[in-house]
Structure 1
Amino acid sequence: MSSDLLETTKYIIHLDIYAEGVIEKSDVIGAVFGQSEGLLGDNLDLRELQKTGRVGRIDVNISSKEGKSTGTVLIPSSLDKVETAILAAALETIDRIGPCMAKIKVDKISDVRAEKRKQIIDRAQKILKTMFKNEFLESDKIIDAVRQAVRIEEISEYGASRLPAGPHVKDSDAIIIVEGRSDVLNLLKYGIKNTVAVEGTNVPKDVIDLSKTKITTAFLDGDRGGELILKELLQTADID
């Protein structure tokens, strides 16, 4: 079905053709106009309907094999549903095409507007899945970038060793000792701002001294490095 038919009609009449002999497109067109003439009166005369644009160009597709012909006919209609059905039924009365006995049967009448609505729905779904999805992803990237920038900006440095720390590590009554800068960032993500990182397995004096003035919790990895840091903290710092 061509796109121009979809744009100018309400319905498409689909006809199947069978002929006892070899026929051509011109034979089919002649039979459609000739045998329907006067059958339904002036209001549904096919020639007049085509002149006034209420019926579009008739599309015929015919093939022949072993002395028989089969094919299809598409007739675009701007008539209402009832008139289109009457016209389709009238075309089934055609019993001869060219010199051959023939049969024409209505395969279906498709609603072009329904097809357009389906196209709109399908396209809208694709837009939602692709274009809007990409925008959401882009927005997520922007949000993540802003959050990351805020977290980085909130990281402070503590002591002579300039250890990565949360902005509240000096003022808070309690602190959390972590291993590295990334741990400070991760906890800032969840609003925990009283952390300080030891930055290695050797616990800095700044952390040892700080632990003796505040309620101190060690939040370390469970690997070999974390175990070594915890062991040293228990020996040198005041861990609650």
Structure 2
Amino acid sequence: MDALDDLDLRVSGCRACPRLVDWREEVARTKRAAFAGQTYWGRPVPGFGPPDARLLIIGLAPAAHGGNRTGRMFTGDRSGDVLYQALYDVGLASQPTSVAMDDGLELYGVRITAPVHCAPPDNKPTPGERETCRPWLVQELRLLRPTVRAVVVLGAFGWQATLPALAEAGWRVPRPRPAFGHGVRIGIDRSDGGGGSDGGGGPDGLDLFGCFHVSQRNTFTGKLTPAMLREVLSAAAWAAGLGK
């Protein structure tokens, strides 16, 4: 077992936030009618993707009947349908759908994670729960540090969690901290002096991208279109050295 596998195992056993523990387990017991015959995961959902990923995608938290049911990030819900279709379209995934842990999906140089690993009520973790969960994100970033060269953050909540986690994991985050926005791109150096002045242009820096979250609210209203999502993912793939 490598270090990232060990981290994922420890994440999946976390019980640090009582409200989230109660909610995720209640959802797993009661289930949605459409999934009544399925066994829900009902635990924290670890990151998904190879341990040498060059691109990291950071969301918000698992969906109650998506990741909390299937045990994999953005799997089994409509937000995931949008994300994985876009990843497939830009050549970063082996298939356009993600429905279960055993569906054969592979990500190419990409890992997907979240600042909160448990499904929250109303899809809204509290800032306190985000802070409690942050050490997991910091450890994940530290383990990915040798290879990761770009990060895409989906939504303002994830952005607010990612910036301090990057700083704690060894990157020099600009001050004042950059504001979230769709299409924002920030170059970040390593805090020990690695990386160039443009962040991702150096050997150990990275490029940080902002993107509207793939929530149904955003995708159904057209705030985030498939073309907008593909544009950010394509730019991030090139920055990470995954472009074709």
Tell me which interval the TM-score lies in, with the shorter structure as reference length: under 0.3
Report which of the two has the higher share of strand: 1
Report which of the two has the higher share of helix: 1
Q: Give the number of the structure with larger relative contact order, counting CA–CA contacts within 8 Å between residues 6 or more apart.
A: 2
Q: Which has the larger radius of gyration?
A: 1
Q: Could you tell me the TM-score, scaled by structure 1's length?
A: 0.25
